[in-house]
Amino acid sequence: MKSASDNDSPARIFEAVVKVNDQRTRAMDRKVIQALDRGVRGKKVALLELNFKPNIDNMRDAHSIVIA
């Protein structure tokens, strides 16, 4: 997205993907809080991040980090 904005090119598809990903992260936040009876303080929760691309091993921009 930075490259597109640096070159004044429209990046609507990428912007839409980022928006949907952010919405999914917030939805997962709500599900976790609801599953823990509205209280997350003082509780330990394990998060597992699964990638769908082969040979991807970095956690850069991982949604599990945002949720944590």
- Alpha-carbon distances of 1 from 13, 44, 48, 67, rounded to whole Å: 10, 35, 27, 23
**Mean pLDDT of all residues in 16-24:** 88
Q: Identify the DSSP state of 36.
A: T
| Better-scored residue on pLDDT, 28 or 50 | 28
Q: What are the boundaries of each domain within the chain?
A: 2-67
The fraction of the chain above a pLDDT of 70, given in percent, is 59
Residue 20's pLDDT is 92
Residue 26's pLDDT is 87
pLDDT class of 46 with cuts at 50, 70, 90: confident
Q: Considering all CA atoms of the chain, what is the largest pairwise distance in Å, rounded to the nearest integer?
A: 47
Q: List the alpha helices (DSSP H) in 1-68.
A: 2-6, 12-35, 63-67
pLDDT, tens digit, for every residue of 52-68? 677 777 766 676 666 66
